[in-house]
Amino acid sequence: MNCRVKHLAALCLHTSSRAMNPANRHRAGFTLIELSIVLLLIAVTATITMVSLGSFASQSRMEDVLSSIESFDHLSRQQALRSERSTQIVIDLDEQTIRQAGSNRVGASGSSLRIPSGFRLVSVRLLELDDLKQGDRDRVGDGQFTLACSPLGYTASYAVSVRRENGNGVATSTSVWIVFAGLTGHSQRITNEEQLNALVESIQPGIAAAR
């Protein structure tokens, strides 16, 4: 019995001496270097999160701009069908607006659309074979482009490009092309102009055969 008591007493003294040892107390906490590393990791994680959220917000705004252009084309075709009268879609690259001819009410639903700040309508391309034969008319980079829309809601096939820009007018993203099929109004988005060129070449024989 005395041996057990002595053993327990010795064990307690050994544990107490380890706890009192400054070296052991030092290992039980965090060093300044360890705390610095943790804070650095938190800062890096927060920065990555903020950048990701900013990128998501920017992509969301681009989606809104592209969708508004697609909706304007659709509404213009529907209005021509309902009124059974031809109309014109005017794309003004200088004023950065898209409107129906005769409408000056910028921002009014179905009449005119203004491209918001931070984005730019860069150019318009005609995809019809007859227009492509006329050389530089296949691409419009400034001024106004007028697109006829028949009472049946038909237009020439065309494409518009949009990109993001900073306050100094410097592009901050590659251009996104929206391609509109003239007969159906169906739209398709293309981010690579080489793909757009291939699409133009592929539809030319079909257009020629239809005529």
Summarised one tens digit per residue, pLDDT across range 42-83 is 888 877 777 666 565 667 788 999 999 999 999 999 999 999
Q: 150: how many CB neighbours lie within 10 A of its CB?
A: 14
In the predicted structure, residue 13 carries a pLDDT above the cut 50? no
Q: Highest mean pLDDT range out of 79-88, 132-141, 196-205?
A: 79-88
What's the whole-number average pLDDT of the chain? 75
- How far, in Å, CA of 97 to CA of 160, rounded? 12
More confident: 16 or 178: 178
Q: Which residue is it, tokens 């005529």? A: 211
Rg (alpha carbons) of the chain, rounded to whole number: 33
Question: Which tokens belong to 47?
Answer: 């920065």
State the pTM of this model: 0.65
Is residue 164 a contact partner of residue 180, using CB atoms and an 8 Å limit? no
132 has pLDDT over 50: no
Paired residues of 176 in beta bridges: 162
Two structure tokens written together for 38: 């943790």
What per-residue confidence (pLDDT) applies to 171?
A: 73
Question: Structure tokens of 211?
Answer: 């005529």
Q: Which residue has the higher pLDDT, 177 or 204?
A: 177
Task: Give 169's DSSP letter.
Answer: S
Q: Which amino acid is at 55?
A: S
Instruction: Please state the rounded mean pLDDT for residues 166-171.
Output: 74
- How would residue 90 be classed by pLDDT, with cut points 50, 70 and 90? very high
Structure tokens that stand for 59 in this block: 């992509």
Q: Give pLDDT, residue 32.
A: 81
Range ranked top by mean pLDDT from 96-105, 166-175, 186-195, 198-207: 186-195
Quickly count: other Cβ atoms within 10 Å of residue 19's Cβ. 10
Percent of the chain scoring above 70 in pLDDT: 66
Helix and strand counts by DSSP (H, E) for the chain: 5, 9
Residue 154 pLDDT more than 70? yes
